[in-house]
Structure 1
Amino acid sequence: MLETLLFFILIPIGFYWIITWFLEKKQIEGLNRKVVLITGCDSGFGRDLVFKCSDAGMPVLAACLTDSGVESLKKEAKGPGVVTPFKMDVRSDESIEAAKEIVEEITKKYGGLHGIVNNAGITGASLWDDLLNVKDYIDVMDVNLNGVVRVTHAFMHLIKKAKIVTTASVCGRVSLPLLGPYTCSKYAVEAYCDTLRIENAIFGVSVSIIEPGFFKTTLTDPKRITKVFDDIWKRTTKEKRDEYGDKVFECTKNEMITMLSQRCNKNTYLVVNAYFHALTSARPRARYPVGLDANLIYIPVSFLPAPVTDFIFAAVRIIKQFPKPAILQK
């Protein structure tokens, strides 16, 4: 009886995955006429995606935050697809408005913009919410969420019947400790992209969300995270520091640094490939969880009841023998 039940469950699932794989594998034609706009191209996923799209013959509009990012791409982008680097700050309406002239001028000969890749993002302040302030949240939101909204609104008129690809994170599916501002921004990005996908389906616009696990990039650099932790701890009042205690702070910081040093995936090309698939597949996915940790840990955990996830986090603290805050030890 059990074998029969499994047969009738697994066979349809198998057919579904085979058909889906076949449909997603088909690539759109004429990549040399599909111009894409990518934000956050100074480094990391955005920069690597510029090279991948250019190597495939796609014209690329590469928005960078810094002059050094622009100059670097001018020197190193050698693919058949023409790369046009320019400065654009996703936090500034004026900067985006100035960039519109460049984008609109170049896209005229291609009949519009094939895709927007909202890649620019920051992790911002990272530590217990109790030690953060409203500005910490505003600063992260202004890039990770408001930046996505600004860029999408500015260029949507060029992209109807095309694609929007946005970076979220597994932190947009499950809340992880010490990453409050980043997690809130990514939950909001997921909601915004779901809204875009539903509302713009009538125009034939596909909206894809990239959900990477932890990868080795400038955002997860242990030295940078150490400085962020130390700076926040130093600015915190003595009264608040005494509640937690130096031992808890150092233990927490060391655990985060160890995790980032040992568990971050070095294969960043996996994320870039997900971006590229979303841009070039005839049937892109709505969501792209990327990495073993995303697919085997964080995404499955996101579907569990809250008491279960709370138990998991509590169990981890016990197993790792995290010390109690100083105020609870008195």
Structure 2
Amino acid sequence: MWLYLLALLVFYFLCRWYRERQTVKNLTEKYVFITGCDSGFGNQLARQLDTRGIRVLSACLTQKGADDLKKATSGRLKTTILDVTSTESIAAATEWVKESVGDKGLWGLVNNAGVGSPLTPNEWLTKEDFENVIRVNLLGLIDVTLHMLPLVRRARGRVVNMASMLGRLAFFGGGYCPSKYGVEAFSDSLRRELIPFGVQVSIIEPGGFATSIGQNIKERLKSIWNQASSDVKEAYGQQCFEKYYRMHEFATRSSTNLRLVTDKIEHALTSCHPHTRYSAGWDAKLFFLPFSYLPTSLTDYVLTRFYPRPAQAV
């Protein structure tokens, strides 16, 4: 009996291994458009796909980012400037992509562009703080997708959206977690709508990576605290702020292996059987993902133990 079960298990994993390695044909003739290629995941992915011979169309926010990427890649890779918060900029980029792909259509759209936000309680923030993040991470992603979808449908291609484990489990305040929850919802509805057209939609859910937290985020936290009302400062206390600041020091020691994420995106673009969701990073697999399925009361109990204690806590 046990031998039959073991044989069945081995057969299952062999079939899965074989299925995972089936790749799309004629990749060198396919076009992939990536947003946010100045640095981080987008930059790494653009260089990675370029080495495979895929025709990469990279969108950077700055001219310097575009120039640096060109120097590091082959002549196949093309760049353009794109601000995902500007519909005019997105429309111009769409026309550029149309001219580049011609009748082939766009095989892959990778919505990678995004911004981070400090680890901070919601009460320290303003409506504008939320808007600044949501405008890029969610509304920009939606706007780019809506403009590019006709080209993706023509190629019966792929859409890959950068979400986050914080789109499953909100760990701190501000616009970052709501924006990533929104990406999850938009991607789910989009996937179901595009199935009849042969278009597949995948979601990437990274855990913590050092590229998403930088010195500018820490300086932004200082600015937020300095501008907080006297009532907020009294309720939370200077010691609470200092502990939140030190939490960013831990975040900067997160994984720097960007390929843990970009390999997932590459699989979503090149596999005959892409996944609906990809989690990336040890913390995503061992912490955030399991905790997202636990009862809310238990999750609240555990997560609140990580939060710095306010001065006026009861």
TM-score w.r.t. structure 2 length?
0.93
Matches within 5 A, 1:24-35: 24-35=20-31
State the Cα deviation string for residues 78-121 of structure 1 (Å, max 9, x = none).
27xx1110101111110011112211001006x11101000000
Alignment partner of 1:193 is 2:187: yes
CA distance in 1, matches of 2:7, 2:140: 44
Alignment partner of 1:88 is 2:76: no
Secondary structure of the residue aligned to 2:65 is helix
CA distance in 1, matches of 2:157, 2:240: 50
Alignment partner of 1:240 is 2:235: no
Alignment equivalent of 1:265, drawn from 239, 255, 260: 255
CA gap 1:159/1:311 in 2 versus in 1, 3 angstroms:
same
User: What percent identity do the matched residue pairs reach?
Assistant: 38
CA distance in 2, matches of 1:314, 1:12: 43
CA distance in 1, matches of 2:128, 2:306: 30
CA gap 1:147/1:13 in 2 versus in 1, 3 angstroms:
farther
Deviation at 1:138, TM superposition (A): 1.3
Check conservation: 1:125, 1:136, Cα contact below 8 A: no
**Which sections of structure 2, spanning at least 5 residues, go unmatched?**
none
Partner residue of 1:75? 71
Partner residue of 2:172? 177
TM-score w.r.t. structure 1 length?
0.89
State the Cα deviation string for residues 294-325 of structure 1 (Å, max 9, x = none).
011100100000011011124445xxxx5x42
CA distance in 2, matches of 1:142, 1:314: 28
**Which sections of structure 1, spanning at least 5 residues, go unmatched?**
none
CA gap 1:66/1:104 in 2 versus in 1, 3 angstroms:
same
Check conservation: 2:119, 2:248, Cα contact below 8 A: no
CA distance in 2, matches of 1:144, 1:227: 20
CA distance in 2, matches of 1:304, 1:289: 17
Deviation at 1:125, TM superposition (A): 5.0
Deviation at 1:147, TM superposition (A): 1.0
State the Cα deviation string for residues 225-273 of structure 1 (Å, max 9, x = none).
320110100111122111111011102211x1232133x1121111111
Matches within 5 A, 1:269-284: 269-284=259-274
Residue type at the aligned position of 2:221: F
Secondary structure of the residue aligned to 2:202 is strand
Partner residue of 1:55? 51
Partner residue of 1:325? 310
CA distance in 1, matches of 2:54, 2:299: 43
CA distance in 1, matches of 2:258, 2:238: 35
Partner residue of 2:129? 136
Partner residue of 1:108? 102
Secondary structure of the residue aligned to 1:164 is strand
Residue type at the aligned position of 1:259: F
Check conservation: 1:66, 1:87, Cα contact below 8 A: yes
Partner residue of 2:244? 252
Check conservation: 1:270, 1:291, Cα contact below 8 A: yes
State the Cα deviation string for residues 56-82 of structure 1 (Å, max 9, x = none).
001111011111111112222127xx1
Deviation at 1:154, TM superposition (A): 0.4
Alignment partner of 1:164 is 2:159: yes
CA gap 1:297/1:126 in 2 versus in 1, 3 angstroms:
closer
CA distance in 2, matches of 1:227, 1:236: 14
Secondary structure of the residue aligned to 2:128 is helix
Alignment equivalent of 1:204, drawn from 198, 201, 205: 198
- Count of residues paired in the alignment: 312
Deviation at 1:137, TM superposition (A): 1.4
Check conservation: 1:126, 1:228, Cα contact below 8 A: no
Partner residue of 2:41? 45
CA distance in 1, matches of 2:84, 2:14: 40
CA distance in 1, matches of 2:13, 2:202: 19
Secondary structure of the residue aligned to 1:288 is strand
Name the Cα RMSD after superposition: 2.0
CA gap 1:155/1:316 in 2 versus in 1, 3 angstroms:
closer
Q: Structure 1: which 4+ aligned runs deviate by more than 6 Å?
A: 10-13
Partner residue of 1:301? 291
Check conservation: 1:124, 1:139, Cα contact below 8 A: no
Deviation at 1:16, TM superposition (A): 4.4
CA gap 1:297/1:18 in 2 versus in 1, 3 angstroms:
farther
